[in-house]
A = this chain, B = another copy of it.
Amino acid sequence: MATRKNDRRAGTRRLEFVVIECVTPELDGGRYPVKRIVGDTVSVGADIIKEGHDELTARVLYKGPGDDDWSASAMQYDFDDDRWYGAFTVDRIGQWTFTIEARTDRFSTWRSELKKKVAAGQDVSSELIEGAQLARAASRGTRSSATRASLLHTAKLLEDRRDTAIEKRIQRALDDDFLTLMQEYTRPADLTRFRRDVSIVVDRERARFASWYELFPRSLGTFADAAKRLPAVAELGFDVVYLPPIHPIGRTFRKGKNNSLTPGPDDVGSPWAIGNEQGGHTAVDPALGALDDFDKFVAAARALRMDVALDYALQCSPDHPWVKEHPEWFHVRPDGTIKYAENPPKKYQDIYPLNFWCDDRQALWDACRDVLFFWIGHGVKTFRVDNPHTKPFAFWEWVIQEVHARHPDVIFFAEAFTRPKRMKSLAKLGFTMSYTYFTWKNEAWDLTAYLEELTQSPAVEYYRGNLFANTPDILNEYLVSGGRPAFRVRLLLAGTLLPLYGIYSGFELIENVPVRLGSEEYLDSEKYQLRPRDFNAAGNINDDIKRLNAIRRGEPALQAYANLTFHASENPAVLFYRKASHEPVVQWTSNKGHPVPAGVLEALGVKTKGGHDVLVAVNLDPHSPQETMVHVPIADMGIAADEAYVVHDLLTDARYTWRGERNYIRLDPNVRPGHVFRVEREVVAP
């Protein structure tokens, strides 16, 4: 093909007949894949530039897991944006790639110039001969003898030099049937491919929409006891049950209650101090039962349509088998002893960090990977990764790729509370979802700024925040001082701001006593001791949780990520936001968002998620009732200024008829934390 020939002769760079740039979606010039969910329609964009007036055509080429050949879908040109748009649907989990191909549409160019000349009454006999040449060239491109015959027949007709024939010749030159044939069989002379294949990692649905529940099985007894709790968790509407490490726990420097360094004989220790003589990362703590009991636990969860998520904490207690078997995998001190974890002057003597760059690196990395394969073999497809930012980023990129190559449906959840760039980098390198700063955002301005950063920035291409309302490490002061109303507020926020959220058990029971004033650690933390609970104790918010999770499952708007916008509330104590029924289709070229024009979406047949708009108002003040006027973005919602609409509170089932932008809201924290309004158009009779 022409390109090839030019290749050799053009010297340095392969000639690009057509400039293809500013391609979306693309992350850091193709260095990292972007993320999508199975079933998503990927909207693609590109600036495609060529000299002169020739007409261009462009298409997206895309390939799913296991595909040998590219599929193609035509791109549409938008004149106002001077940009090309395309779309395709990723219908399987795994790694997809796409690229873009553009070329001159020689026939259409010839055809529209001919039209203009005919309209101007110019002599076009020479143009018709050219058309004949194009037809003959195209005829060589087809195997179907009928097509070839038709094209050659047309060529003859176009060459008919008799003046009497001119009308018929023009007619034939411009007729649609000829156009169709030519578009199919004209061989392009200047086909140009975008210089990169762009990767897309396509995850399963729960990578974007899931409700998480964290529990320590040992506080319930054994796996068998914990399994008895599962139906209740399922009934609360959770999708994922996350277990802190379930492995044998170290004895050396074991931590006592409330993190004391002087444990009693019965202290159970921190599950994150992994490994003892009974085994390491691929063993279960005998106190919980046998591996077989764990399998039953997983099966029970699956029967309830719940995933079990395990903790993946790459560190060892001094008693971990690896310490004896592979001392070379750790940091050895000059005196031959192994280095414990420290952040000088702090020491964590119950933990040995792994030396990921030791001479036996590959064996260590393989072993770490095989831990994942082991648990995947036991039905675990979700891993909550402990402190990934303290292990080499290169390791994460490698191990996640290794696992996804065999098990593309595995979800990795990064527990990195560190500087934003590090958290984003881990997400780019492959983590499916990530913890966030949500627990520390308790005021309207702060929540707004942070959630806009998560949902209205290029981060939406790779960073999926999972809003945990509490964790065994984080009991926020807002919960301590705000009590039950505060817990209800945070639950509602977590479950409606983003489709991914979670709580750590005890939250539903308003556990909020810190180990000491100003600390985010729990008193009698479950990290170091058993916490048996009465989950139906008075004051629990099980009903809130059950209702919220049911609403989330019923409303598509609450299952989408980038459809969040904040709107004016005249009282800063009340946060007001919209989850749009239709997710905006925005293409991110680096830091700039380009909304795809509605007309283009239609032309491409792109459906954005349907359903109702949801409006949420939350009283962030857990202490006193607050009232305000909220400003409903009726224009964006296609509601006329004088049009009445119904807001249906899915928490209370109450319906109100509203009109116009400004509407009144009053929220008493002792009654309810907020409203979750489904916007319905049919008005209720007064």
Contacts of A117 in B (CB 8 A): 344-345
Q: How far is the CB of A578 from chain B (nearest CB, A)?
A: 26
Assess A345 versus B122: contact at CB under 8 Å? Given A30-B29, A82-B419, A397-B13.
yes
A53 to B389, CA, bound (A): 10
Interface positions of A from 120 to 166, Cβ below 8 Å from B: 120, 122, 126, 129-130, 132-133
Contacts of A16 in B (CB 8 A): 393-394
Complex contact A393–B126 (CB within 8 A): no
A388 to B397, CA, bound (A): 45
Assess A361 versus B9: contact at CB under 8 Å? Given A49-B421, A49-B425.
yes
Complex contact A133–B334 (CB within 8 A): yes
Asked if A536 lies at the interface with its beta carbon under 8 angstroms from chain B, I say no
Contacts of A420 in B (CB 8 A): 82
Complex contact B344–A120 (CB within 8 A): yes
Complex contact B189–A357 (CB within 8 A): yes
Which residue, A82, A113, A421, has most C-beta atoms of chain B within 10 A? A421
Which of B28, B50, B394 is within 8 Å of A21, CB to CB? B28
Q: How far is the CB of A475 from chain B (nearest CB, A)?
A: 25
Q: How far is the CB of A50 from chain B (nearest CB, A)?
A: 7
Asked if A539 lies at the interface with its beta carbon under 8 angstroms from chain B, I say no
Asked if A603 lies at the interface with its beta carbon under 8 angstroms from chain B, I say no
Q: Which residue of B lies closest to A26 (CB)?
A: B29
Which of B116, B362, B388, B590 is within 8 Å of A591, CB to CB? B590
Q: How many copies does the complex hold?
A: 2
Complex contact A49–B116 (CB within 8 A): no
Q: Which residue of B lies closest to A104 (CB)?
A: B357
Complex contact A425–B116 (CB within 8 A): no
Contacts of A12 in B (CB 8 A): 401
Which of B52, B345, B401, B589 is within 8 Å of A390, CB to CB? B52
Contacts of A130 in B (CB 8 A): 333-334
Taken residue by residue from 306 to 349, chain A's Cβ proximity to chain B (1 for < 8 Å, 0 otherwise) reads as 00000000000000000000000000011100000001110000
Interface positions of A from 362 to 403, Cβ below 8 Å from B: 362, 388-394, 397-398, 401
Contacts of A49 in B (CB 8 A): 393, 421-422, 425
Complex contact A335–B129 (CB within 8 A): yes
Assess A357 versus B31: contact at CB under 8 Å? Given A49-B421, A345-B117, A591-B591.
no
Q: Which residue of B lies closest to A388 (CB)?
A: B51
Assess A343 versus B53: contact at CB under 8 Å? Given A398-B15, A592-B590.
yes
Asked if A685 lies at the interface with its beta carbon under 8 angstroms from chain B, I say no
Assess A2 versus B116: contact at CB under 8 Å? Given A16-B393, A393-B50.
no
Q: How far is the CB of A109 from chain B (nearest CB, A)?
A: 10
Total interface residues on A, CB under 8 Å, equals: 67
Complex contact A116–B344 (CB within 8 A): yes
Complex contact A390–B82 (CB within 8 A): no
Contacts of A129 in B (CB 8 A): 333-335
Taken residue by residue from 95 to 129, chain A's Cβ proximity to chain B (1 for < 8 Å, 0 otherwise) reads as 00000000000000000010011011010001001
Complex contact A333–B590 (CB within 8 A): no
Contacts of A388 in B (CB 8 A): 51
Asked if A522 lies at the interface with its beta carbon under 8 angstroms from chain B, I say no
Contacts of A590 in B (CB 8 A): 589-592
Asked if A652 lies at the interface with its beta carbon under 8 angstroms from chain B, I say no
Which of B19, B334, B390, B591 is within 8 Å of A425, CB to CB? B19
Q: How far is the CB of A224 from chain B (nearest CB, A)?
A: 38
Asked if A265 lies at the interface with its beta carbon under 8 angstroms from chain B, I say no
Taken residue by residue from 522 to 556, chain A's Cβ proximity to chain B (1 for < 8 Å, 0 otherwise) reads as 00000000000000000000000000000000000
Complex contact A361–B119 (CB within 8 A): no
Asked if A670 lies at the interface with its beta carbon under 8 angstroms from chain B, I say no
Complex contact A345–B398 (CB within 8 A): no
Complex contact B51–A389 (CB within 8 A): yes
Q: Which 5 pairs, one residue from A and one from B, show the smallest C-beta to C-beta distance?
A: A29-B29, A590-B590, A120-B345, A129-B334, A116-B344
A sample of 30 inter-chain contacts (CB < 8 A) reads A6-B361, A11-B398, A15-B398, A16-B393, A16-B394, A17-B392, A17-B394, A19-B429, A21-B28, A21-B31, A29-B30, A47-B421, A49-B421, A51-B388, A51-B389, A51-B391, A53-B343, A82-B420, A113-B344, A116-B344, A119-B345, A126-B333, A129-B333, A129-B334, A130-B333, A130-B334, A132-B334, A189-B357, A589-B590, A589-B591
